[in-house]
Chains A and B, each alone.
Chain A
Amino acid sequence: EDQVTQSPEALRLQEGESSSLNCSYTVSGLRGLFWYRQDPGKGPEFLFTLYSAGEEKEKERLKATLTKKESFLHITAPKPEDSATYLCAVQARDDKIIFGKGTRLHILP
């Protein structure tokens, strides 16, 4: 069964304290892995798409990496405005998109 597991469920960091969020997946024929940011009461905001193991993408303080079994979202020197829920999703060969439950990130000033 295709599934996506994100860890930790919640993470509290001090401003400037770098860390990583994990997304483990099992899927039949990965077509793409996506990272989103979701603020309370809003729709997910696209961050990255990764297609193959070894691929990396960066955007400001965020960097996403992909292996055959998991993806990491590294956040470097985070700021309070980076506080949000970060969602990971995979697109399987049958085009279905499966989301993880997300990691709630809280950056303390």
Chain B
Amino acid sequence: EPEVTQTPSHQVTQMGQEVILRCVPISNHLYFYWYRQILGQKVEFLVSFYNNEISEKSEIFDDQFSVERPDGSNFTLKIRSTKLEDSAMYFCAAVFSLSYEQYFGPGTRLTVT
């Protein structure tokens, strides 16, 4: 089964600081996604990435957010100036075939204080 890893598992930061969350999909992938899940709430789509470009983004994904593929394998999600309401689990997911099966990483728990 395809594997997706994320680092760090838990990040604590102060309000206004920048954070970078990392994801590595093991083996080739077609699509790549970032999601967030605020505690006790539903999983929310942030952005999808295809062919090294953003293919779709939600209203949540404002100018505070950016995604990059810095070295051809890792994907990063950057939040420029964190707010208290950014505290959530952040998941990345990858699609490896045209059946659109998404494989999620274990998540990064972001706590903004």
**B91–A43 contact, CB under 8 A?**
yes
Q: Tell me the smallest distance from the CB of B90 to a CB of chain A, in Å.
A: 10
Chain B interface size, under 10 / 10 to 19 / 20 to 34 / 35 or more:
20 to 34
B contact face: mostly helix, strand, loop, or mixed: strand
- Find chain A residues with CB under 8 A from B107 CB: 41-43
Q: Contact check, A46 vs B103: say whether CB atoms are below 8 A apart.
A: yes
Query: Interface-forming stretch among A11-19, A58-66, A67-75, A90-98?
Result: A90-98
User: What number of A-B contacts does a CB cutoff of 8 Å give?
Assistant: 55
B45 and A99 contacting across the interface, CB-CB below 8 Å: yes
What are the 3 closest A-B residue pairs judged by CB atoms, nearest first?
Answer: A43-B104, A99-B43, A95-B56
Q: Judging by beta carbons under 8 Å apart, are A94 and B42 in contact? A: no
| B56 and chain A: residue at smallest CB distance | A95
Which among A31, A91, A99 is the interface contact of B42 at CB below 8 angstroms? A99
B48: Cβ under 8 A from any A Cβ = yes
- Kindly report which residue of chain B lies nearest to residue A46, judged by CB atoms: B101
Question: In the bound complex, do residue B55 and residue A100 qualify as a contact, i.e. CB atoms below 8 Å apart?
Answer: no
Complex CA–CA separation, A87 to B48 (angstroms): 19
